[in-house]
Amino acid sequence: MERLAALILAAGVSPCVEQWGPMLPVGNETMIRRTVTTMLEAGALPVVIVTGYRSEVLRRHLEDLENLGLVFLHNSRYASTQMYDSLLLGLRYLRDRCGRVLLARGDVPVVQPETIRRMLETPAQVVRPIYRGRAGHPLALDRSSFQPLLDYRGEGGLSGAMRALGLEVADLPVADDTVTLGEPTQEAYSRLLRHNLTQGGGAERLRLDTRLCLCAVDAVFSPETAQFLEMLELTGSIKLACRALRISYSKGWKMLRRVERVWGFPMVRCRVGGTEGGSSELTPQGRRFLAAYRQMEEEVLDYAQGSFSRHFVDFPLVHPLPEEEARP
């Protein structure tokens, strides 16, 4: 059997959920950790993770697994490129190192081993699981697809490349609904948590969900605000930061002006002109404020998790509400 590797794309931001996707909790673990574990249990070696946004956080979070065969690649242009560019970065590394690749985002953490086994037994350039007519993840890519994908310069990302290149795609019907639970939306994340709770007898370990918000009457600075400022600093453009987070230009400006009005100093310095409507960067005060927030956030979350572990050690299991009661 040809050597199997895994490629996990975790470079981008997560604009459609309240927290950063790879670090969202699922049971006792995080999205990214569960995804990595799934790939390792499938026999993939190496497991390549393409990072970008907050790459140092991911590396620290997974450092205890590095000796099992993790490889980190960094997409330094993740804010201004597409997921397909991260895919190409991983394929360039893997093309001479394996015969097949399991391709996943960092937010598909509960795919069943039987599904992966069946995918690997299916001969095709691309194998994708299909649940009730919906295509899911992960994908299995054969070595023969690597170079055509690397040479592709068209539109439409991976789906567009598969169509344009005429790759042999095998759609594999599966009974595993978890292949479709990795969409980057709050609704999909809620469905994923419910699925995780209901499997295995309807109980799961209690988990802590903590977000740090700074308030003046109401919330003024949240993880979303920090993410926006980080994207602005990286891209040098308010417009590109909004595009990366999939928010409107007016919402970005409103968020920025509100923060500056409350704190009483300019967070951002803007220069007029240029193809993207000028350039923007954080002021020295803005950088200090953002760094202070991230440092405090890390300390608060670490303390909260330790406190949670101490005080709730005797309350390990929870049971999900019926679907109709779970709706707000």
Tell me whether the omega of the peptide bond preceding residue 138 falls within 30 degrees of 0, making it cis. yes
Please tell me the distance from the alpha carbon of residue 108 to that of residue 121, in angstroms, as a whole number: 21
**Which CATH architecture group holds 214-308?**
Orthogonal Bundle (1.10)
- Average pLDDT value over all residues in the chain: 82
Cβ atoms of 196 and 152 within 8 Å: the answer is no
Spatial CB neighbours of 250, under 8 Å, sequence gap ≥ 6: none
Amino acid at 255: M
pLDDT digits (tens, 9 = 90+) for 160-170: 999 999 999 99
pLDDT in tens, 6-27: 999 988 775 544 556 677 766 6
Would you say the pTM of this structure is higher than 0.75? no
* Number of neighbouring beta carbons within 10 Å of residue 132: 9
Residue 69 has pLDDT above 80, yes or no: yes
Tell me which of 2 and 268 has the higher pLDDT. 268
Which pair of tokens denotes residue 163?
Answer: 């169509």
Residues 6+ apart with CB under 8 A from 135: 128, 129, 171
Q: Assign 111 a pLDDT band (cuts: 50, 70, 90).
A: confident
The answer to whether the beta carbons of residues 59 and 103 sit under 8 Å apart is no
At residue 275, the pLDDT reads 52
Q: To which CATH superfamily is domain 4-198 assigned? A: Spore Coat Polysaccharide Biosynthesis Protein SpsA; Chain A (3.90.550.10)
> What is the residue extent of each domain of the chain?
4-198, 214-308
Model confidence at 144, in pLDDT bands (50, 70, 90)?
A: very high
With a CB cutoff of 8 Å and minimum separation 6, the contacts of 274 are none
Mean pLDDT of 272-296: 83
Identify the bridge partners of residue 227 per DSSP, sorted by sequence position: none
